[in-house]
Amino acid sequence: MAKRLFFISFFIFYLITTCLSQNVGKNIPFRMNFHMSVSVPHGVSNKAFRSSFTGIYDIAMNVNAQVFKGFMAGIQFRTNDWKTADNKIPGINTHAKAHNGGLRISYEFVRSEQSTAFVGIAAERSMIKYSGLSINSGTDLMLLKDKDFYNSVVLDAGMFFYTEGNFAIGFNLSTVLTNYNFDPYALYLNQHHAYIASDLNGIWTHFNLGFNLVYSFLNKIGKT
C-alpha cells in the first residue's frame, strides 16, 4: 500500500511539474470558477482502517479566483463517508464521516477552446465522526472516542471539458494525506474484528478517483 501511495503521489507531482513547464500560450478567459468533484475514496495506509471501512463517497467543493496567469487561489469544503462492509466486519453498520475545510491553490492551463487541465493542493482542518457503533452491553465506555480532529493535505489533478457555455465536466484524481492515527479500540471495533499491533501503524491516507463539474464565471475584460 505504501508503494501505491508513492506511485499516486509521484504521478500527481509529475502532472504538476509537466503542467507548469508547458505553456500553451492561451489565457484562461474567466476570473473565477466553482469546482465540485464526486469521487470514490480508497484507503491506502493504516491497515486497521482499511480492514474495517470501505469508502462510499468523497465530495469536494471549491471556489477559486485567478490571481496570476493560470494560478488560482480559493477555499474548499470536502466531506466523505465510509462504512463497515460485510466483507470486512459483518453484522454491524458503523459509519465514519469526515468534514474538511481549508485553503486551496491550483494551476490551470488551457489545452484547447473546450478543454482545461488543472493541478492543485489544499490544506485543510478536518473532523471525523463515527456513528452506528455496536458495543456489547456492560462494556466500560471510559475509552470511547467517537470524534477526532486532524489536519489534511490534498493533492489533486484532472481535466475538464466545456459542454455548453460556462459549464464543464471532467475527471479527477486526488491523494489525501493526514496526520490522523486511527484507533479501532477507541470505537470498540475489536469486539467484532481481530486486530494486531502492527495494524495500527501509519497515519490514515487515501486516494480518490471520480469526476468533476465546473462552472466558470466573471469573464475577463475583452472576453465574451
**DSSP code for 135:** -
Instruction: Give residue 113's pLDDT.
Output: 79
SS3 label, residue 30: strand
pLDDT band, residue 121 (cuts 50/70/90): very high
Q: What burial letters (b/e) apply to 73-111, b meaning 16+ CB within 10 Å?
A: ebebebebebbbeeeebeebebebebebebebebbbbbe
User: Domain total for the chain?
Assistant: 1
The reply to whether 146 falls in a domain is yes
User: Distance (Å, rounded) from C-alpha 64 to C-alpha 49?
Assistant: 33
Give the three cell numbers for residue 68.
496570476
Is 187 a domain residue?
A: yes
| Domain interval for residue 167 | 2-31+40-219
- Residue 224 — very low, low, confident or very high, per pLDDT cuts 50/70/90? very low
Neighbours of 128 (CB within 10 A): 20
Whether 224 is covered by a domain: the verdict is: no
Which candidate, 114, 116, 101, places its Cα nearest to that of 151?
101
| 107 lies in some domain | yes
Does some domain include residue 49?
yes
Residue 147 lies in a domain: yes
Q: Is there a domain that residue 98 lies in? A: yes
- Read off the CATH number of the domain in which 198 is found: 2.40.160.20
Q: Could you tell me the pLDDT band of residue 30, with boundaries at 50, 70 and 90? A: confident
170-193 pLDDT, tens per residue? 999 999 999 999 999 999 999 999
Tell me the helices (H) and strands (E) count for the chain, helix number first. Answer: 2, 8
Residue 148 lies in a domain: yes
